[in-house]
Homo-oligomer: A and B are copies of this chain.
Amino acid sequence: MIPDSCDETAVLDRAEASCRQRGASLTAIRREVLALLHRAPKGIKAYDLLEQIRHTRGNASPPTVYRALDFLIEQGLAHRIGRMNLFVACRHGKHSAPSLFLVCPKCNGVTELEDAAVVSSLYASLAATGHRLDSPEVEISAICPQCAAA
């Protein structure tokens, strides 16, 4: 589980560039939080994140983490998984369409996928009732292959 630091740096640098493009800045704190998210193999809880970030910033408090998370989500660099209060880094460079998040309730694993067929039938169904998709994130509770095997 030791990250390839070269890859990580590259990812963070790309994130920084994309923020800058939008007039936002990926500050040190935000970058650290994003790095922690990327290192986590699964969804991670805000307070676990807090604990981890205290290793480098002893004075971090809940708002420190939540503000960084809000920023990252706003910038499309991270996602919030509502049901389980989990946060994950976005593994996609860019979202052309809404994503489906398969959240495993056993292990907190999050799989992000874009499936045009599902999304288009979803749109049709929504349109039929006059609704409009609000968030590009659709969350689905599904047992992952590993947990299903166990």
Contacts and interface: CB of A to CB of B under 8 A. Distances in A.
A134 interface: yes
Interface in A95-150: 100, 102, 104-105, 111, 113, 115, 117-118, 121-122, 124-126, 129-135, 137-145, 148
Given A124-B117, A125-B100, A141 B130 contact: no
A82 interface: yes
Contact of A138 (B133, B138, B143, B145): B138
B113 A118 contact: no
A22 interface: no
A83 interface: yes
Given A82-B82, A82-B83, A144 B121 contact: no
**4 A-B pairs closest in CB distance:** A82-B83, A130-B145, A131-B142, A135-B141
27 contacts: A82-B84, A82-B139, A100-B125, A102-B126, A102-B129, A102-B131, A104-B134, A105-B135, A113-B125, A113-B129, A117-B124, A117-B125, A118-B118, A118-B121, A118-B125, A126-B142, A129-B145, A130-B144, A130-B148, A131-B143, A131-B144, A131-B145, A133-B142, A134-B142, A138-B139, A138-B140, A138-B141
